[in-house]
Amino acid sequence: MSLRKQIGAALGSDEAVVIGAVLTAIWLLMAGSFWLFGPDVATPLSGLMQLFSVMAVLGPIVLIWLAVAIAGAIASLRSEAADLRLRLGQMRDAGGGRIGATTAAAQPAVPAQPRPQSAPAPRPQPMPQPVPRSAATDGRQTAMRFDAPASVTVAPDDLIRALNFPEGPDDVETIAALRAVLRDHDNSRVIRSAQDVVTLLSENGLYMDHLSTQPPRPELWRRFAEGERGAQMQQMGTIEDQQALDLTLAMLKGDEIFRDSAHHFLRHFDLMLTRVGTSLDDDQLQLLAETRSARAFMLLGRVANVFG
């Protein structure tokens, strides 16, 4: 290895060493020219003046190589930062590949559906209001609860209102209920996963308000909340809109983001029913079944064969 490369490796920047060497040579050339061709001084310089002269020559050189060292340190930090970003990107890609493979492997069998029949074009539906998120979280940290809200008691009526989402900025009662529910850790997960699914469905022209459905009987909700499954529980999937069923099936098969969001929502809505389903009265269960979130649950549950 050449002397220049050895110095560059020690200081961390080969280009900075070259620039520093050039500037040093120029400065020494200028200083030497001054001493050789400058005016003669009749009086000899005192010791203090000689010291000042040496410092005047060496001072700029010291500053030049100090700047070279700083530039080398900055270049080294940039290189380490770039390497760290590359490693994080590789870890994120590897983690995303494992998650996608696990999700695809765990996806339940979906029954084949007939071809869609003609249906009237859907009218625009009020979009659910954005759910405030306290902080952005890394997808690889979903199991950690460092920034999760504490568990608090949520009134059943507030939970039901929040699951239907506000009709607009003037829906003060539902907005207040939504804020109350979001203070609870478990219920906030249900709300956010439901909003993701309802939003993705609406972006494909499928609005929960327009679904033709006959809400399941309250006792079916209770039995499902208690963990009962089987042929009789298929009555939970009361969505009969064939066009909506076919569109949802196509999205589950062809859209990985929607598929992950749907499984996430189904899991958290199921857990919510286990927590509160048996404590709700018939009227509250009837209202719950009419919410946008419950309609999305019945639609996805039927397509993904959750109820059988």
Rounded distance between C-alpha atoms, residue 249 and residue 244, angstroms: 9
Q: Domain check: are 153 and 280 in the same one?
A: yes
Q: Output phi, psi for 32, to 5 deg.
A: -65, -40
Q: According to the model, what pLDDT value does residue 41 have?
A: 59
Domain that residue 59 falls in: 3-38+46-106
Q: What is the pLDDT of residues 161-199, one digit of tens each?
A: 999 999 888 899 999 999 999 999 989 999 999 999 999
Residue 115 lies in a domain: no
Instruction: Compare 296 and 112 and report the one with higher pLDDT.
Output: 296
Residue 113 lies in a domain: no
Q: Domain check: are 171 and 100 in the same one?
A: no
Q: Domain check: are 85 and 165 in the same one?
A: no
Which residues 6+ apart lie within 8 Å of 223 measured at CB?
233
Residue 277 lies in a domain: yes
Residue 74 lies in a domain: yes
Cβ–Cβ under 8 Å, residues 149 and 188:
yes
Q: Domain check: are 168 and 299 in the same one?
A: yes
Answer yes or no: is pLDDT of 159 > 50.
yes
Residue 118 lies in a domain: no
Token reading at 168:
């607009």
Coil, strand or helix at 213:
strand
Cβ–Cβ under 8 Å, residues 190 and 269:
yes
Instruction: Compare 4 and 144 and report the one with higher pLDDT.
Output: 4
Rounded distance between C-alpha atoms, residue 145 and residue 143, angstroms: 7
Q: Domain check: are 162 and 298 in the same one?
A: yes
Q: Which of 56, 80, 106 is the last residue of a domain?
A: 106
Q: Domain check: are 164 and 280 in the same one?
A: yes
Residue with structure tokens 């607009």? 168
The total of other beta-carbon atoms located within 10 Å of residue 93's CB is: 10
Q: Domain check: are 65 and 155 in the same one?
A: no
Token reading at 151:
């568990």
What is the tally of structural domains in the chain? 2
| Residue among 292, 300, 297, 306 at smallest CA distance from 131 | 292
Question: What DSSP character marks residue 239?
Answer: B
Q: Domain check: are 162 and 247 in the same one?
A: yes
Q: Which of 75, 90, 106 is the last residue of a domain?
A: 106
Q: According to the model, what pLDDT value does residue 202 have?
A: 94
Q: Domain check: are 156 and 282 in the same one?
A: yes
Instruction: Compare 294 and 76 and report the one with higher pLDDT.
Output: 294
Q: What is the pLDDT of residues 248-295, one digit of tens each?
A: 999 999 999 999 999 999 999 999 999 999 899 999 999 999 999 999
Rounded distance between C-alpha atoms, residue 227 and residue 247, angstroms: 28
Using alpha carbons, list the distances in angstroms from residue 105 to 95, 102, 108, 197, 301: 15, 5, 8, 21, 18
Q: Is the whole-model pTM more than 0.75?
A: no
Q: Domain check: are 92 and 165 in the same one?
A: no
Q: Domain check: are 164 and 252 in the same one?
A: yes
Q: According to the model, what pLDDT value does residue 108 have?
A: 45
Q: Which of 73-77, 113-117, 213-217, 274-278 has the lowest mean pLDDT?
A: 113-117
Using alpha carbons, list the distances in angstroms from residue 106 to 83, 143, 259, 274, 304: 34, 18, 11, 22, 12
Coil, strand or helix at 307:
coil
Instruction: Compare 48 and 279 and report the one with higher pLDDT.
Output: 279
Residue with structure tokens 């909700």? 221
> Of 3-17, 79-93, 224-238, which one has max mean pLDDT?
224-238
Q: Domain check: are 258 and 160 in the same one?
A: yes
Q: Which of 54, 87, 106 is the last residue of a domain?
A: 106
| Average pLDDT of the segment spanning 301-306 | 88
Q: What is the pLDDT of residues 36-46, one digit of tens each?
A: 776 665 566 67
Q: According to the model, what pLDDT value does residue 230 have?
A: 80
Residue 174 lies in a domain: yes
Percent of the residues in the chain that have a pLDDT greater than 70, as a whole number: 70
Q: Which amino acid is at 6?
A: Q
Cβ–Cβ under 8 Å, residues 150 and 185:
yes
Q: What is the pLDDT of residues 12-30, one digit of tens each?
A: 567 778 888 899 999 888 8
Residue 179 lies in a domain: yes
Which residues 6+ apart lie within 8 Å of 23 measured at CB?
64
Residue 130 lies in a domain: no
